[in-house]
A and B are shown apart, each in its own frame.
Chain A
Amino acid sequence: MSNQRQASSASQVPHLSPAELSYLYTSLSLPKNPIRPDGRSPTQFRPLSAETNILPGTNGSARIGFADGTQAIVGVKASVEKTILAADTLDSRSLAQHGDALNREGEEGSAAVSGQGEWVQMSIEIPGYRDDDALPVFLGEMMRESLVGSVAGGSEEVKEMAGGLKGRLVINKRWHWRLYIDVLLLSQPLAYPLPLLSLTTHLALLSTKLPKLKSTGEEDPFFDDDWAVAEYLYPRSNKQSSPSDAPTYPVRPPVTLLVIAVGENVIFDPNREEIAVADAVLAISITRSSDSENMKLLSIRSIDPPSRLTQPGIPNSENVNMLGGPPASSNQSGGQEEVGGVWRPRRGGVQRSVITRMIKTVLQKGGVGEEVIQGLEGVKVE
């Protein structure tokens, strides 16, 4: 296990021989139609089961289980906290301005207050890892940054979400909500757990409710104790035609997808073996932009591909055991060139055209991003 902890951002390297890696790489990089070990198409996700609101003690919660047995549970808790005002507001001149602003707010509402990213806290528990190990911290930060970074387009119906999630957490000038998102992975990560955790967090946030505010303006916050009237963190529109329809959300939390490039091919939701031969691993965060039906790209992060750490294969021409002696061409034994069917650890780097294709596949109409969001819409969030 200590070795696993050493592997920083990449997931553990499965124990595959160079020959196996080479075989896998070749079949995944077949031009046009890669052959995946589990027979999925390049854009197909693993089947999963999901449920929401499973924990009565949280503001929102969700569970997602993949068919291979990896499960994650996310619980969201919120608490009210006093906003620490920036030092310049204590300055007398800005206090006067502050008063002006207060007067104006009578008509405008407190749209002027902006939220802070630190109000969302994320912690990830993975069995076998401490929660300050590199993997949980990196995963947590990666999901948090797209969460607090997503800002809704300023359309009318999502007034509450002006300024994104950060803005939603503002109660008034002096008080705000603090959101704790705790992610629990219930089994050893069989693959890089990012997509699982991100989808679960997405559902948990959709089911998150905050108590209804009874106080107004700059009063100390005071809440309705009836949980039935509590408001959703991510507001839903009331345009449903029938109660059986799934509610629609003008704003949705972001989803982070894991995409790998193998040769010219772009492959979604890779399993552990597929990641091990990837040329590049990207985490792409998307959300549906509110004013249009299009997907919006929030962030792209590259992840250290574990294929870098694999052992290289030795071609027959260089293998001492095959020839009984050092070959004549041993001056080239630096192993720099590719020999067909012999595994070379990937050295990273990916072509621009491949990255473009990755993003296009995610964002285009009817693309993977839309498919994922639609799939998540199918999960009924009570």
Chain B
Amino acid sequence: MPLDTSTTYPLTKLRLDGRRWNELRLLQAQISTNPASSGSSYLSMGNTSIMCSVHGPAEGRRGDGGSAGSGHAVVEVDVNVAGFAGVERKRRAGGSDRQSTRIATTLRSTFQSHLHTYLYPHSTISIHISVLSADGSLLAAAINACTLALVDAGIPMPGLLCGCTAGMSGSASTPRDPRHDELDPLLDLSLPEEQELPSLTVATTTVVPVGENNMDEDEETMKVSVLSMESKVHATYLETMLAVGIDGCSQIRELLADVIKGSRR
């Protein structure tokens, strides 16, 4: 029985887990899960679940050299994918693997520029992420979990940073034919989809209203802040994927905002 999206999707218009192309997986989140940290969160998107804790802003460790003299806070990210996160138990020889290092690097550069770090000179904000269960969209879920934990820690930022993945329902290696469009874009990919289909991760934030449009509350302008793609796709499909991804980000933004409002006492 073929169980890949590229063969079954054109027939049923339903994905492996029964979703339509534009549906997110169930997103559940909690903040302030760990009282021992400055801010913490738990976030699950489908079967991907992540715990995030933030320590700081605190005085940087001595002997770190570079960070000591800077006028900005330094963001440190540590990603740990648990051995039991995947289907097969992964054994890692003493430390981190490539995937977690890559996620950590992306997150570090993302939040270093996203947060108002100039408010905390000579300090360190350290983010620790534990992936408890990995089922696709790890980077996007990690961005969302970090945002929640940083909000919980009370670290100022211009707006919520929300990430989401988007892909195409086929290999999409030939130019797109506008009259005969047989491939659909997909939102929020799970692990099996991510492994066989081209996909990208996009994260957006809201632009701080400045100048003339200051009072223009109803029109939400979005700014793409992270865009990462590791698979091949024909350039003509990129626009569709981005549009779907950005739409997903705004859906996630509402969900995250609800979580934050809901936990306020």
A residues whose Cβ falls under 8 Å from a Cβ of B = 1, 54-58, 61, 65, 67-71, 73, 75-77, 79, 123, 125, 127, 130-132, 180, 182, 184, 186-188, 190
Contacts and interface: CB of A to CB of B under 8 A. Distances in A.
B118 interface: no
Nearest to B78: A127
A230 B66 CA distance: 55
Nearest to B85: A57
A131 B82 contact: no
B38 to A, nearest CB: 11
Given A77-B83, A79-B89, A186-B53, A132 B78 contact: no
B49 interface: yes
Nearest to B132: A55
A190 to B, nearest CB: 7
A148 to B, nearest CB: 18
Contact of B133 (A57, A130, A186, A187): A57
A71 B130 CA distance: 12
Contact of A55 (B34, B36, B37, B84): B84
A125 B51 contact: no
Nearest to A190: B36
Given A130-B94, A182-B83, A73 B132 contact: yes
Contacts of A68: 35-36
Nearest to B134: A57
A70 B80 CA distance: 17
Contact of B34 (A69, A125, A182): A69
B80 A187 contact: no
Contacts of A56: 47, 133
Main secondary structure of the interface of B (DSSP, over half): loop
B94 A131 contact: yes
Contacts of A79: 88-89
Interface string B47-65: 1010101000000010000
A1 B64 CA distance: 11
Contacts, number: 76
Interface residue range, chain B: 20 to 34
B18 interface: no
A61 B89 contact: no
Given A1-B61, A55-B84, A180-B84, A132 B94 contact: yes
A251 to B, nearest CB: 23
Closest 10 CB pairs of A and B: A69-B36, A75-B84, A69-B35, A182-B83, A77-B89, A187-B36, A132-B94, A180-B89, A57-B133, A58-B84
Contacts of A1: 61
B61 A57 contact: no
A272 to B, nearest CB: 12
B128 interface: yes
A198 B11 CA distance: 51
B86 to A, nearest CB: 7
A1 B94 CA distance: 18
Nearest to B96: A130
B178 interface: no
A36 to B, nearest CB: 20
A127 B130 CA distance: 10
Contact of B83 (A69, A70, A180): A180
Nearest to A2: B63
Contact of A182 (B37, B49, B82, B94): B82
Given A57-B85, A76-B84, A186-B53, A69 B37 contact: yes
A184 B80 CA distance: 10
